[in-house]
Chains A and B, each alone.
Chain A
Amino acid sequence: MHKDQRTYSHVVTQATIVMNDNVRKPEVVASESATMPASATASATATAPATASSPSDSHAVTVKRNAGMPLDSGLVERVRINRSAADRRISALSGRRSVKKDAQAAWLLKAITCMDLTTLNGDDTEGRVRRLCAKAANPVRQDLLQAMGMEPRRITTAAVCVYHRFVPTAVSALQGSGIPVAAVSTGFPAGLIPHHLKLQEIEASVAAGAREIDIVITREHVLTGNWQALYAEMKDYREACGDAHVKAILATGDLKTLNNIARASLVCMMAGADFIKTSTGKESVNATLPITMIMLRMIRQYQMLTGFLVGHKPAGGVSKAKDALSYLALVKEELGDAWLTPELFRFGASSLLGDIERQLEHHVDGAYSAHHRHPIG
């Protein structure tokens, strides 16, 4: 660990991973304990599943919220990311980690439970949102779940993600399902409305029942290296969210370089983000595996620094089942199994579910499927 990084280990609040499976320890504990300061080591305790936001996930985990830390601009500026090396790692990964047959079906179901089923379009209506919520609660045909022996698991998506205007609609549509509503906020997608209106928007969404808020950062702060401003902004968002979890959208397509993305990731985590998320889905380049890999590495660095486990959400452009497998494998490789839960990993997606459904049907009966064989969302 870097010399300067040690300073923080004593102020760290202990992160706790609670898992319902006490046989398999969280990988972060098993493999990193030797390298982490004792006070920053996550500890595993076997308890009953906590009241996780995704009741469908039998592998539920409760993660101690990221409390943030003082901004360390020096550490942020020391970050160095090598683009070509990142690209090489990603291009080799699919050859190193292939997931087939039953394991593949299970991973795809996991992907669904980690999905923020999303609609963020100018032509959204209440009707459209209700339809989406129905799909979120029943994302996979029951006969398929039955065939895979997964019927008792109550597979649902992790959340439904909408604009503030549709939060009440979604909250009502999801009543009783346990599925939380996430609202994009802070002048999504550009994030250039006045700061006080951003905070008001967050508060309004939380008041309307949103349990997760996806904020957008002011890209200018990153592009000009104004880390203090980014930190202050993010801190305000976190505070405005209260108990609602906050996902910081970096709009990575606008930040362009992996160095910018890595630095913005660290600053947002220092300011208390619960998740760091790639994109609004509106930039010309959205989620990519190299970008996710770099953000995951920053999450690991932040964990080594503070002990907190921060989540990650790739969004926009993840539309194929095969892509979802690659993302899950990448998370498993870079951060370990502890992150393979909706508490710490989400896909922001709208069309991914349809492709997964088709693959699952293929897995069950061996014949290639068609979209119209699965209920519309």
Chain B
Amino acid sequence: MNVANYFDTMSYGPAPESDTEARQWLATHQDGFGHFINGEFTGVSDKNFDTFEPATGTVLARISMAQQADIDAAVKSARAAQTGWAEQSGHARAKVLYALARIIQRHARLIAVVEALDNGKPIRETRDIDIPLAARHFYHHAGWAQLQGSEFPDHSAIGVVGQIIPWNFPFLMMAWKIAPALALGNTVVLKPAEYTSLTALLFAELAATAGLPDGVLNIVTGDGKSGAMLVEHTEVDKIAFTGSTAVGKWIRQATAGSGKSLTLELGGKSPFIVFEDADLDAAVEGVVDAIWFNQGQVCCAGSRILVQEGVAEDFHARLRLRMSRLRLGQPLDKCIDMGSLVAPVQLQRVEAMVQQGVEAGATLYQPDIEIPSGGSFYPPTLLSDADPTSSVVCEEIFGPVVVSMTFRTFDEAIALANHTRYGLAASVWSESVNQSLEVAAALEAGIVWINTTNAMDASVGFGGRKESGFGREGGREGCLDYLKPDAWMKAPMRIDPEGVALATKGGSFAMDRTAKLFIGGRQARPDGNYSRAVASPTGERLGDVGEGNRKDIRNAVEAARGAASWSSKTAHNRAQILYYLAENLSIRDVEFAARIRAMTGATAKQAQAEVEASISRLFSYGAWADKFEGAVHLPPIKGVTLALPEAQGVVGVICPTEAPLLGFISLVAPLLAMGNRCVVVPSEASPLSATDFYQVLETSDVPAGVINIVTGNALELADTLSKHNDVDALWAFGGPTMTRLVEEQSAGNLKRVWSGFDRQIDWLDSRVGEGREFLNRATDIKNIWVPYGE
């Protein structure tokens, strides 16, 4: 090709980014890379593996495979460094993070080129998106380090954090994980993905000049087995994982009962909803950014197009035309839209899934464009009219493949969008503010983009709902996932409750009363039709309650699921009901105090105090209902990003054995205030305060199904609740045995489990027994990105 040829054809010529410096850097490591532990690189291990350049299949470098001894050494060095690091002033830590940000910017091009070579993604994305955003994470979190003392009083670092990151955004995910952890005083052992370790190792090299104390950041390389060693290490206090839902579920099980905190950023099948009043060309371009960004290897990729029927044909025509102009090429070509998938095995997986989709009846469209040979290249792919039962619609493909379906009305769009196990992100395209915000509010996703997609920033929490995982990374909400509340940590560990006392003496009643269960707003006889006696500490029979079983839990969950309107009531309305509960409880304070005395042997004063604290607590959450506000984040866009705390949904509650009334109120009231519906198992030993509460509920305008109470064996009922796949969260205050059980079983749908750190707090102490810790646990932050401009 010469000038005249180009003049005649007006084709794009090659525009390669130089790889000279990157190759030079690799050449200085031709013997291979060790791990970065305690401030220095180990020698190259005998156990090692090759890392490849996905676009050509050639070997880039040799990398050490971490064994147990390496993991032990890394964790040990992180442990040794943690206290000192946390004790440094926020300003001192801020300066280190600031230096890391500057270092990234100084070496931005080298990092970008190495990343493109190692991952196969276009240099445009590493240079313009990944690396600048990585630097931004360090800048943003340098700020949180600086402000930690004033903004997070009474909170401390969690400790040693094990972080395991995926291969789709190797450098960006590393920054995303490291920055908040280090900022808030944690130390880190990070394992990059097996395919893409190079930029993390480069970062470790560069970071040597940042003033990071030895051991604060450790980087170990290896495969899934190395990662598993980190997950299972007893000296690790928290695991932060980004990767597949399957591995995330394994981690949930593997860490059950270990006391480890957990953040899981998992898969998705995020809807991309196009309404008929959308700017269709903009939406088409949105699809490009949604699914052909990073070859579709993006957990929050908009991989499921839902388009309104009236414009579906037009939209698809525009989309196919747009696809015909996409360009695939070598990652360092500056004139491409897509590079290579990360590895041949991914290519095979994508090919197989598309094949399945076509066999299931989807219409395949792939543009007739040039596909580079060699490497793991796959064309942009549209599967339209896909069958809702087919695997391409239900499962994450993690490649440049988008499926599309149509809908009729906005409520059908919401139903289709939410009809998935995942809940990471969603994109809504509409020029109507009413429609787009209503849909955004109704979507079950951690991130909603209105008229945009795949927008990310360090100031905005990233994380999902449902089986897309839990925890947030970024922004104020993300900081909380790297902190623990001091007041809780000072409390003694909770121990498993002793067996429930048997009634050895008959009680005397003016009138026989056998409490039933409370399900769907009615007192319901237990399914098994058994009851259990409730005894005083001295063995006196105080009455009988129903023996709930798994079917009662099933019924209660169904009732709670059906009471969805509670979540959309106004905060003011929920506050009114909480105040009303307090009012009606106070009318009967003497009776409730007497019941507490009888069940627990408390003094009159103690019992009175518990009732008064319960009334006050209901008031507190009545107060909080319209004051636990979200935020408007400030990412670098023209627009607003709304961080809204949203109810978890249906929450199971296993009340502590102690404080039969206050324990019950302390857990249920914050959940109600935030719009959750509850299935509550009261104190197994002392359930009568909760059953007495039925009448308070019935006289306080609590809608049916919002609170459901099932008495019985706490561990058995917790077992059923933790396995129930329509329960969104479970608060289990039943001791370490129960915690281990429910954490392990929660992996089925990744429901959020909170066991109060297995601590035995003083419920009467309002500094620890109520407030933001509970409210944070009762909600998930949804971030709604609303760019604007006319």
Chain A residues with a Cβ under 8 A of chain B: 1-3, 5, 21, 24, 30-32, 34-35, 58-59, 80-89, 92, 95-107, 109-110, 148-150, 153, 256-259, 297, 304, 328-329, 332-333, 336-337, 340
Contacts A102-B2, A103-B1, A148-B3 given; indicate if A82 touches B282 (C-beta within 8 A): yes
Chain B: CB-nearest residue to A81? B279
Closest CB of chain B to A108's CB: distance in Å?
Answer: 10
Which residues of A have CB within 8 Å of B127? 95
CB <8 Å contact, A333 and B325 = yes
Closest CB of chain A to B332's CB: distance in Å?
Answer: 11
Alpha-carbon separation in the docked complex, A290 to B372 (Å): 31
Identify which of B7, B10, B286, B452 contacts A337 (C-beta below 8 A): B10
Which residues of A have CB within 8 Å of B250? none
Contacts A95-B127, A101-B13 given; indicate if A35 touches B7 (C-beta within 8 A): no
CB <8 Å contact, A332 and B317 = no
CB <8 Å contact, B12 and A97 = yes
Identify which of A3, A5, A84 contacts B310 (C-beta below 8 A): A3
CB <8 Å contact, A106 and B279 = no
Alpha-carbon separation in the docked complex, A8 to B11 (Å): 34
CB <8 Å contact, A35 and B2 = no
User: Could you show 17 A-B contacts with beta carbons less than 8 Å apart?
Assistant: A1-B317, A2-B310, A81-B279, A83-B790, A84-B637, A85-B279, A88-B289, A97-B12, A98-B15, A109-B3, A109-B7, A149-B4, A150-B3, A150-B4, A153-B4, A258-B790, A329-B12
Alpha-carbon separation in the docked complex, A97 to B337 (Å): 8
Alpha-carbon separation in the docked complex, A225 to B334 (Å): 43
Closest CB of chain B to A284's CB: distance in Å?
Answer: 17
Which residues of A have CB within 8 Å of B282? 81-82, 85-86, 89
Identify which of A1, A97, A106 contacts B313 (C-beta below 8 A): A1
Alpha-carbon separation in the docked complex, A153 to B4 (Å): 9
Contacts A80-B431, A105-B3, A340-B10 given; indicate if A97 touches B335 (C-beta within 8 A): yes
CB <8 Å contact, B10 and A110 = yes
State the 6 A-B residue pairs at the shortest beta-carbon distance, nearest first: A103-B13, A106-B6, A85-B282, A35-B317, A83-B789, A84-B787
Identify which of B2, B128, B279 contacts A95 (C-beta below 8 A): B128
Which residues of B have CB within 8 Å of A80? 277-280, 431
CB <8 Å contact, B13 and A34 = no
Alpha-carbon separation in the docked complex, A80 to B451 (Å): 12
CB <8 Å contact, A87 and B1 = no
B19 contacts the other chain (CB 8 A): no
B765 contacts the other chain (CB 8 A): no
Which residues of B have CB within 8 Å of A148? 3-4
Which residues of B have CB within 8 Å of A153? 4, 7
CB <8 Å contact, B11 and A103 = yes
CB <8 Å contact, B320 and A100 = no
Identify which of A87, A88, A98 contacts B335 (C-beta below 8 A): A98
CB <8 Å contact, A257 and B6 = no
Which residues of B have CB within 8 Å of A86? 282
Alpha-carbon separation in the docked complex, A95 to B128 (Å): 8
B124 contacts the other chain (CB 8 A): yes
Which residues of B have CB within 8 Å of A2? 310-311, 314
Q: Can you add 19 more A-B contacts, CB < 8 Å, to A34-B317, A82-B429?
A: A21-B8, A30-B324, A58-B8, A82-B431, A85-B451, A87-B789, A92-B289, A96-B335, A99-B13, A99-B15, A102-B13, A103-B6, A103-B12, A105-B3, A106-B5, A148-B4, A257-B790, A259-B790, A336-B325
Which residues of A have CB within 8 Å of B790? 83, 256-259
Alpha-carbon separation in the docked complex, A24 to B374 (Å): 27
Closest CB of chain B to A288's CB: distance in Å?
Answer: 13
Which residues of B have CB within 8 Å of A88? 285, 289, 452
Among B3, B4, B278, max chain A CB count under 10 A is at B3
Which residues of A have CB within 8 Å of B321? 31-32, 35
* Chain B stretch 561-590: residues in CB contact (< 8 A) with chain A: none
B57 contacts the other chain (CB 8 A): no
CB <8 Å contact, B314 and A1 = yes
Which residues of A have CB within 8 Å of B513? none
Identify which of A89, A100, A107 contacts B285 (C-beta below 8 A): A89
Which residues of B have CB within 8 Å of A82? 278-279, 282, 429, 431, 451
* Chain B stretch 304-352: residues in CB contact (< 8 A) with chain A: 310-311, 313-314, 317, 320-321, 324-325, 327, 334-337
**Chain A interface mostly:** helix
B639 contacts the other chain (CB 8 A): yes
Among A84, A86, A259, A337, max chain B CB count under 10 A is at A84
Q: How large is the interface on B (under 10, 10 to 19, 20 to 34, 35 or more residues)?
A: 35 or more
Which residues of B have CB within 8 Å of A259? 790
CB <8 Å contact, A102 and B639 = no
CB <8 Å contact, A99 and B285 = no
Chain A: CB-nearest residue to B789? A83
Which residues of B have CB within 8 Å of A333? 325
B788 contacts the other chain (CB 8 A): yes
B490 contacts the other chain (CB 8 A): no
Alpha-carbon separation in the docked complex, A149 to B6 (Å): 12
Chain A: CB-nearest residue to B7? A106
Identify which of B10, B280, B451 contacts A332 (C-beta below 8 A): B10
Contacts A82-B431, A85-B285 given; indicate if A59 touches B8 (C-beta within 8 A): yes
B14 contacts the other chain (CB 8 A): yes
Would you give the 0/1 interface string for B102-138, flagging 1 where the beta carbon is closer than 8 Å to chain A? Answer: 0000000000000000000000100110000000000
Alpha-carbon separation in the docked complex, A52 to B530 (Å): 95
CB <8 Å contact, A297 and B3 = no
Alpha-carbon separation in the docked complex, A99 to B429 (Å): 32
Alpha-carbon separation in the docked complex, A92 to B429 (Å): 19
B9 contacts the other chain (CB 8 A): yes
Closest CB of chain A to B617's CB: distance in Å?
Answer: 45
Closest CB of chain B to A195's CB: distance in Å?
Answer: 30
B638 contacts the other chain (CB 8 A): yes
CB <8 Å contact, A100 and B336 = no
Which residues of B have CB within 8 Å of A109? 3, 7
Closest CB of chain B to A225's CB: distance in Å?
Answer: 15
Identify which of B9, B128, B283, B334 contacts A92 (C-beta below 8 A): B128
Closest CB of chain A to B238's CB: distance in Å?
Answer: 35
Closest CB of chain B to A61's CB: distance in Å?
Answer: 12
CB <8 Å contact, B7 and A150 = yes
Which residues of A have CB within 8 Å of B1? 102-103
Which residues of A have CB within 8 Å of B637? 84
Which residues of B have CB within 8 Å of A89? 282, 285
Closest CB of chain B to A46's CB: distance in Å?
Answer: 14
Chain B: CB-nearest residue to A336? B325
Which residues of A have CB within 8 Å of B370? none
Alpha-carbon separation in the docked complex, A95 to B325 (Å): 15
Chain A: CB-nearest residue to B365? A34
B281 contacts the other chain (CB 8 A): yes
Chain A: CB-nearest residue to B337? A96
Would you give the 0/1 interface string for B629-640, flagging 1 where the beta carbon is closer than 8 Å to chain A? Answer: 000000001110
Contacts A106-B7, A107-B10 given; indicate if A149 touches B2 (C-beta within 8 A): yes
Closest CB of chain A to B434's CB: distance in Å?
Answer: 14
Which residues of A have CB within 8 Å of B639? 84
Which residues of B have CB within 8 Å of A106? 3-7, 10
Chain B: CB-nearest residue to A3? B310
Identify which of B278, B335, B452 contacts A84 (C-beta below 8 A): B452
Which residues of A have CB within 8 Å of B320? 34-35
Closest CB of chain A to B114's CB: distance in Å?
Answer: 18
Alpha-carbon separation in the docked complex, A86 to B452 (Å): 10
Which residues of A have CB within 8 Å of B4? 106, 148-150, 153
Closest CB of chain B to A213's CB: distance in Å?
Answer: 28
* Chain B stretch 476-491: residues in CB contact (< 8 A) with chain A: none
Alpha-carbon separation in the docked complex, A149 to B2 (Å): 8
Alpha-carbon separation in the docked complex, A149 to B4 (Å): 7
Chain B: CB-nearest residue to A95? B124
Alpha-carbon separation in the docked complex, A254 to B10 (Å): 33
Alpha-carbon separation in the docked complex, A240 to B7 (Å): 36
Closest CB of chain A to B787's CB: distance in Å?
Answer: 4
Alpha-carbon separation in the docked complex, A219 to B639 (Å): 29
Closest CB of chain A to B448's CB: distance in Å?
Answer: 15
